[in-house]
Amino acid sequence: MITDLNQSFTLGSLESKIKKVNKRVNVSLAQLQIQKFEKASSEGDRIFFQAMEEVLDSIAPLIESDERYRRHAIVERLTVPDRVFKFKVTWLDDANNIQVNTGYRVQFNNSLGPYKGGIRFHPSVNEGILKFLGFEQILKNSLTGLPMGGAKGGSDFDPKGKSDFEVMKFCAAFMTELHKHIGPRVDVPAGDIGVGAREIGYLFGEYKKITSTYDGVLTGKPFMFGGSLMRPEATGYGVVYFTQAMLEQENKEALKGKVCTVSGAGNVAIHTIEKLQELGALVVTCSDSRGTIYDSRGVDLALLKELKLQKRVNLEEYLITYPEARYIPVEEYPEGGHAVWSIPCYAAFPCATQNELWEADAKTLVANGCVSVTEGANMPSTPEAIKILLDNKICFAPAKAANAGGVVVSSFEMSQNAVMTKWSFEKVDAKLKETMRQICKRVALTAKDYGVEGNYVDGANIAGFKKVADAMIAEGI
Ligand code: NDP
């Protein structure tokens, strides 16, 4: 379920936020952004503006304190992608019918390194959604301290219900166009919603065939042909490592023995649950696009993996093995809310998709004594929900910091490919853990430096922005 952003996000709210920023920093940003907003027609565009608004809000003090950013028009330049490729993807389904989808690659900014960001296959994909994800990716990649720019791509193709052959044929057709725009030093895509090891394998196979090269042009590859150990686990594990570091930093109790709630049932959710369980937390929920499972004795991870990674069926089938668990279909979710967040917990982990934790959910989490919320998915919390959580001093870890583990290990995969070597699981895990701790520290310190101690949203936006902005200035226009 995605919230209707028209209700919560209006031109008026964007206009007043931008005016506030503009008044403080004295730049002619307002008119520029409002014009763009007026042209924005789809929900995807609105989500892009939602992401941009949050960043603009956070970075106002930085822009105010350093006139170089205004002189070099950094905000105006950073909020427009370097280029957007949009292309037709035609493929043959199993019944020999010709199918047509749209493919995209948004190359947003490469000031810090080659463009880097996932590919999403989902019917909701459009240019606006990918611009939001690409924009977030710039600051996320910057926060890692690793040499990567920001990008995102995908298609409105839905892999659900398709045979392996159909997925293969679609991936080959998609790569027929995409290969012209990517390369190990140019742009290195990875997975995202609907794109896992199977899809990356097919995409890589086609790239290899077309170009006759064996390049590390995609990350998230299966281990046997160039993938890094721990890439599948990286985002979820990183989410938990970040939470551990944040709880420690904020003098809160550790996760061991604590009830945790997780939304989603895909790559990020599954590996978040796995690491939480390893640490002795009790994870009682998971969800997919059809409904939520609440299992008070703890989610059976092996069964979840079997249902979602092997059989690719709906979560309701969890009840066949555990009829005493509760299944809540989306139609029965609380008004304006998500079933997962109605379950009392110590720590909450939204790991499914954007705008899945709303204002009402945030209020419920606060009322139920929740101590921390960590975003595993990209921008899963609405601005109104984030405000409630921050106002109530909940430890809140924003996606661009907390879910950076995936791209961190992708960067490790690029390093291993470049020198044709393989690192051990332990080495990757230790480096990931340390990197997530460093990101957490950087975000917390930045927030403190800018007078917003404990606000990890502002800390992440300012720290991420500053590095990219300084590189853009040094590289000229
Ligand atoms: P998957 O495709 O593996 O899983 C996505 C999960 O979210 C599935 O359970 C899916 O349900 C559910 N879902 C998808 N769309 C909706 C929707 N509109 N409403 C409700 N549920 C939905 O994706 P990932 O786990 O890889 O990605 C999840 C999130 O994490 C995304 O926001 C992604 O951008 C972000 N992310 C992923 C990274 C990665 O390494 N994979 C890295 C960083 C961020 P169903 O099973 O029914 O389809």
Q: What is the CATH number of the domain that holds 209?
A: 3.40.50.10860
Residue 441: inside a domain, yes or no?
A: no
Domain around 184: 83-213
CATH number of residue 322's parent domain: 3.40.50.720
Query: Which member of 152, 258, 308, 467 is catalytic?
Result: 152
User: CA-to-CA distance for 291 and 338, rounded, in angstroms?
Assistant: 9
User: Are residues 152 and 41 part of one domain?
Assistant: no
Tell whether ligand 1 has an atom less than 6 A from the beta carbon of residue 192: yes
For ligand 1, whether the C-beta of 267 sits within 6 Å is yes
Residue 406 near ligand 1, beta carbon < 6 Å: yes
Where among 178, 213, 248 does a domain terminate? 213
Same domain, 14 and 114: no
Ligand 1 center–CA 375 separation, angstroms:
12
Q: Assess whether 240 and 369 both reside in one domain.
A: yes
The model scores a pTM over 0.85: yes
Inter-residue contact 18 to 57 (CB < 8 Å): no
Structure tokens at 425: 């699981």
- Are residue 128 and residue 176 in the same domain, yes or no? yes
Is the domain of 63 the same as that of 87?
A: no
Indicate whether 313 and 375 sit together in one domain: yes
Asked if 68 and 29 sit in the same domain, the reply is yes
Are residue 253 and residue 301 in the same domain, yes or no?
yes
Distance 400 CA to ligand 1 centre (A): 15
445 lies in some domain: no
For residue 224, being part of any structural domain is answered with no
Determine how β-strand 285-287 pairs with β-strand 115-121: unpaired
Which of 397, 425, 459 is the last residue in one of the domains?
A: 397
Look at residue 356 and tell me if it is in a domain. Answer: yes
Q: Is residue 407 domain-resident?
A: no
126 lines ligand 1 (CB under 6 A): no
Query: Is the domain of 393 the same as that of 271?
Result: yes
Task: Return phi, psi of residue 91, to 5°.
Answer: -150, 165
For 263, the enclosing helix (H) or strand (E) is strand 259-263
Task: Examine the fold and report which residue of 16, 46, 78 is the final residue of a domain before the chain moves on.
Answer: 78
Instruction: Output phi, psi for 230, to 5 deg.
Output: 75, 0
Domain count, the chain: 3
Q: Let me know whether 50 and 89 are in one domain.
A: no
The CA angle 272-277-283, to the nearest 5 degrees, is 75
C-alpha of residue 336 to centroid of ligand 1, in Å = 20
Give dist(CA 477, CA 59) in Å, integer: 21
How many Cβ atoms sit within 10 Å of the Cβ of residue 211?
Answer: 15
Residues 6+ apart with CB under 8 A from 94: 163, 165, 166
Nearest C-alpha to atom 35 of ligand 1 is from which residue? 377
Written as tens digits, the pLDDT of the chain (477 aa) is: 333 333 334 444 555 555 555 555 444 454 455 455 555 557 888 999 999 999 999 999 899 889 999 999 999 999 999 999 999 999 999 999 999 999 999 999 999 999 999 999 999 999 999 999 999 999 999 999 999 999 999 999 999 999 999 999 999 999 999 999 999 999 999 999 999 999 999 999 999 999 999 999 999 999 999 999 999 999 999 999 999 999 999 999 999 999 999 999 999 999 999 999 999 999 999 999 999 999 999 999 999 999 999 999 999 999 999 999 999 999 999 888 899 999 999 999 999 999 999 999 999 999 999 999 999 999 999 999 999 999 999 999 999 999 999 999 999 999 999 999 999 999 999 999 999 999 999 999 999 999 999 999 999 999 999 999 999 999 999
Would you tell me how many other CB atoms lie within 10 Å of the CB of residue 411? Answer: 24
Q: Identify whether 152 is a catalytic site residue.
A: yes
- Tell whether 124 and 89 lie within a shared domain: yes
Listed in sequence order, the DSSP H helices in 279-367 are: 301-305, 318-321, 359-367
Same domain, 93 and 151: yes
Is residue 301 situated within a structural domain? yes
**Pocket of ligand 1 contains residue 268 by CB under 6 Å:** yes
**Spacing, Cα 268 to ligand 1 middle (Å):** 7
Residue 174 domain flag: yes
